[in-house]
Amino acid sequence: MIIIPAIDIKDGKCVRLAQGDFDRVTVYADNPVEMALLWEQKGAELIHIVDLDGSLAGLPRNADIILEICKKVNVPIQVGGGIRNMDTVNYYLNNGVASVILGTAALQNETFVRAAQKAYSGKIILGIDALNGKVAICGWKQKTQEDAIDLARRYGNSGFKAIVYTDIRRDGMETGVNIEATKALAEAVNMPVIASGGVATIADVEKLKAVEDCGICAVIVGRALYSGAISLEEAIKKARRPLN
């Protein structure tokens, strides 16, 4: 299982939101590029970046910073936030981004999402953000009645790289990963699932590690890394350790 440090960018800075609330923002660094270099130095194998301004606007707002990160670090970058058309997909994937995450589009524009997957097989990740099991889109501002597992099943095993499954209620709260919901979604589809939201301690990494056989390939860690509650180096060691 891979530990993926998160860099959420708002107004050009590295921040964390509490439960996806744009009014509850904590700034952790003024320079996201330097933060990416730090995570690389500490052993990150992959970095997760979200353009928070882009997720609200529906188009990239911090692309210049994201591409600068791509130039400076030597580990793959996966990017989400405001990717709603093929031009944006082309722009990122042709300029150093390893994979893009389609969240809002996965619900609103299935034709585009499937076209992107066909054009860039193995580089398209589905983003499913859920509040009480129901999908939320547009920077989590718009709640829907779409069931998260139903949305995942709609795409099935169609060559997508993975699903990033985020429990919004736990995101940025350090209250523990929703193991049950993540495991249920992973068991419902035939593609790798990346857990996200709520990682608080190294115990959360161990709990996910214990159920990784159901298809959980990685976990995104944000606030717990920035607050010092988790050491990236220690988390990587735990995630790599063979199951007994």
Catalytic residues: 8, 129
Reported as a pLDDT band with limits 50, 70 and 90, residue 244 is: low
> Which residue, chain included where needed, has tokens 């889109």?
137
**pLDDT at 185 > cutoff 60:** yes
For residue 139, the model assigns a pLDDT of: 58
For residue 143, the model assigns a pLDDT of: 80
Mark 34-46 as b/e (b = at least 16 C-beta within 10 Å).
ebbbebbeeebbb
**pLDDT at 174 > cutoff 80:** no
More confident residue, 92 or 20: 92
Reported as a pLDDT band with limits 50, 70 and 90, residue 20 is: low
Domains of the chain: 2-240 (3.20.20.70)
**pLDDT at 141 > cutoff 80:** no
**pLDDT at 18 > cutoff 80:** no
Phi, psi (5° rounding) for residue 12? 80, 5
For residue 169, the model assigns a pLDDT of: 66
For residue 187, the model assigns a pLDDT of: 95
Tell me which DSSP letter residue 81 carries.
S
pLDDT in tens, 101-126: 999 999 999 999 999 999 999 999 99
Alpha-carbon distances, residue 114 vs 70, 77, 104, 238 (angstroms): 25, 21, 14, 35
**pLDDT at 64 > cutoff 90:** yes
**Whole-structure pTM value:** 0.93
For residue 5, the model assigns a pLDDT of: 98
Specify the 3-state DSSP secondary structure of 72. Answer: helix
Under 8 Å between Cβ of 60 and 89: no
SS3 content of the chain, % helix, strand, coil (to 5): 40, 30, 35
For residue 45, the model assigns a pLDDT of: 97
For residue 128, the model assigns a pLDDT of: 94
Exposed, middle or buried: residue 130 (CB in 10 Å: 0-12, 13-18, 19+)? Answer: buried
pLDDT in tens, 25-52: 889 999 999 999 999 999 999 999 999 9
